[in-house]
Amino acid sequence: MNCWGIFLAKISVDTPLAEITLRKYEKPSGESKRELVRKLCLSLGLLQPGDSRDVVVDVLQVMLEADTELTSTEVEHRVIEKRKSSGLELLGIAPSNIRRQLLRLRDLFIVEKVKNNYRIRERTMLKSIFEENIEKYYLASIIARVKEYVDEIDKVFLVR
């Protein structure tokens, strides 16, 4: 084996089956609609603190304000209008990025795709979506798996 053999070896990567980031902020108190949605995105890990690339906020707000199902193109146009009217830079508005943000919202069970249209999941309240899908299902399964690792570590390392 030559000296490069070490660098060519395959490195295994641990890929999580699921992950979620949750953050706690001060209670909401009179923020604008956009700021409320922004804090929710920060709280759910959809947006990083200090991140200037915040188009996910506008995508979620457009979905929350929509009376009907929307295509990704309609979401894109509404996001552009919203950012222009708010005096925000038109960053992150490429169709591919809008679809990516919709997928991220789908991954958190907030938005669902019906045929080629998007809507808030089951046209229901966000509180219900959070409690039923994120808290009871997604978060509970992650916590259960972490507990399995804790139990196994206790058996392996703390046998007395």
Write out pLDDT tens, residues 62-121.
999 999 999 999 999 999 999 999 999 998 999 999 999 999 999 999 999 999 999 999
Q: What is the mean pLDDT of residues 142-151?
A: 96
Q: What is the predicted pLDDT for the residue at 8?
A: 54
- What pLDDT was estimated at residue 158? 84
DSSP state of 111: E
Domain residue extents for the chain: 31-122, 124-154
In angstroms, rounded to a whole number, what is the distance separating the alpha carbons of residues 62 and 59? 5
Q: What's the mean per-residue pLDDT of the chain?
A: 91
Share of the chain above pLDDT 90, in %: 78
pLDDT of residue 75: 98
Contact 34, 86 (CB under 8 A): yes
Model confidence, pTM? 0.83
The domain 31-122: what is its CATH number? 1.10.10.10
Condensed to tens digits (0 to 9), the pLDDT of residues 10-28 reads 666 788 888 889 999 999 9
Q: What is the mean pLDDT of residues 145-155?
A: 95
Write down the pLDDT at residue 3: 52
Tokens standing for residue 16: 């999580």
List the structure tokens of 6. Answer: 């070490």
